[in-house]
């Protein structure tokens, strides 16, 4: 019974991961909060690894949905190498360098310093306010960058700096931070979202690989089942959420997510102040 309960909990975490990874509302913040109420019966070391590696399922959803845009080779006639796709990947890699360096050098220290409800709450609120402010400032303005190919290297680096903020402070939301960075840089909502999705692929792969190496490959059968259950669920839910979000932002702005973040941040802060 205990094993089945652990698998069901992993599925629940996969649902939350799949929803919150792509909506700009902080997956880490929600996972930390959910863990206060639904705790996996695993070691602290496995939990820290699970929290990151479950994102691989979400990555696979991006790869499946955007394979034609992500794969740089052409086997159906025409030029073998899709130059514009390679250029896009170079820009993505440039954008990911700051967060990658910080993650490799200071991953454990950042977890020790910032993985707590104070930081998560404040990050939720601050970036929620920033979403609302940026959308109000951009109201009525036409975005300068309306295609992925129009994103320059300076814009990539600028967006990458916002991803760096998300890498340091849990609750910021990687997708939320990079989308805000894109909007400030004059990128349209849909292109900001797509670029954010694509940036997630190398970032999450690298972070997951680092966590697996740190944990080692000595999984028990149950640990492996729990991890795969969470990843598969995150994949399925991510497919639905990404499709929903891209349809939603064609007709709406991001302010609703800003208000949600503010309310959630306040609730998290109040909850932990009450329970101590």
Checking if the pLDDT of 253 tops 80, the result is yes
d(CA 83, CA 89): 10
How far apart (Å, rounded) are the C-alpha atoms in residues 185 and 188? 9
Q: For 75-123, how does the pLDDT look when each residue is reduced to its tens digit (9 = 90+)?
A: 776 677 888 999 999 999 999 999 888 877 887 788 788 878 888 889 9
Residue 15 is predicted with a pLDDT of 96
> And the tokens for 24?
């700009």
Give residue 29's pLDDT band: very low, low, confident or very high (50, 70, 90).
Answer: confident
C-alpha to C-alpha distance for 233 and 13, rounded to whole angstroms: 8
pLDDT at 230 over 70: yes
Q: Residue 2 above 70 pLDDT?
A: no
Q: How far apart, in whole angstroms, are the C-alpha atoms of residue 36 and residue 30?
A: 10
End-to-end CA distance of the chain: 32
**pLDDT, position 275:** 80
pLDDT digit string, tens, across residues 45-67: 999 899 889 999 999 999 999 99
> DSSP assignment of 228-267, as one string?
HHHHHHHHHHHHHHHHHHHHHTTT--SHHHHHHHHHHHHH
| Number of folded domains that form the chain | 1
- Across the chain, mean pLDDT equals 90
Q: What is the pTM of this model?
A: 0.90
Specify the pLDDT at position 33. 79
Q: What is the pLDDT of residue 204?
A: 87
pLDDT at 197: 95
Where in the sequence is the domain holding 95, given as residue range(s)?
Answer: 2-275
Residue 276 has pLDDT above 70, yes or no: no
Residue 221, number of CB atoms within 10 A of its CB = 8
How high is the pLDDT of residue 95? 94
The whole-number pLDDT of residue 216 equals 84
7 — pLDDT class (breaks 50, 70, 90): very high
Calculate mean pLDDT across residues 247-273. 91
* pLDDT above 90: residue 238: yes
Residue in this structure with the two tokens 């909007």, named with its chain if needed: 183
How far does CA 118 lie from the centroid of its chain?
20
- Give residue 104's pLDDT: 79
Average pLDDT over residues 233-259: 95
Lowest mean pLDDT among 20-34, 102-116, 253-267: 102-116
């Amino acid at each position: 019974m205990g094993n089945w309960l652990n698998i069901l909990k992993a599925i629940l975490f996969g649902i939350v991961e799949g929803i919150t990874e792509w909506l700009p509302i902080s997956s880490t913040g929600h996972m930390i909060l959910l863990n206060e109420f639904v705790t996996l019966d695993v070691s602290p070391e496995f939990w820290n690894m699970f929290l990151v590696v479950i994102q691989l399922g979400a990555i696979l959803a991006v790869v499946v949905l955007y394979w034609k845009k992500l794969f740089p080779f052409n086997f159906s006639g025409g030029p073998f190498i899709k130059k514009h796709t390679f250029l896009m990947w170079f820009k993505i890699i440039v954008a990911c360098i700051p967060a990658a360096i910080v993650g490799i050098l200071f991953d454990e220290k950042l977890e020790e310093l910032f993985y707590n409800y104070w930081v998560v709450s404040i990050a939720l609120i601050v970036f929620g306010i920033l979403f609302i402010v940026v959308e109000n400032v951009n109201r009525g303005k036409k975005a300068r960058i309306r295609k992925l190919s129009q994103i320059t290297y300076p814009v990539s680096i600028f967006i990458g700096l916002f991803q760096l903020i998300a890498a340091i402070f849990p609750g910021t939301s990687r997708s939320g931070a990079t989308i805000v960075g894109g909007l400030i840089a004059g990128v349209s909502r849909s292109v900001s979202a797509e670029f954010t999705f694509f940036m997630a692929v190398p970032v999450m792969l690298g972070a997951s690989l680092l966590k697996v190496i740190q944990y080692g490959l000595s999984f028990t059968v149950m640990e492996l089942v729990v991890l795969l259950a969470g990843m598969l669920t995150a994949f399925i839910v991510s497919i639905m959420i990404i499709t929903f979000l891209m349809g939603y932002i064609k007709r709406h702005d991001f302010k609703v997510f800003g208000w949600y973040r503010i309310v959630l941040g306040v609730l998290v802060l109040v909850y932990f102040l009450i329970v101590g």
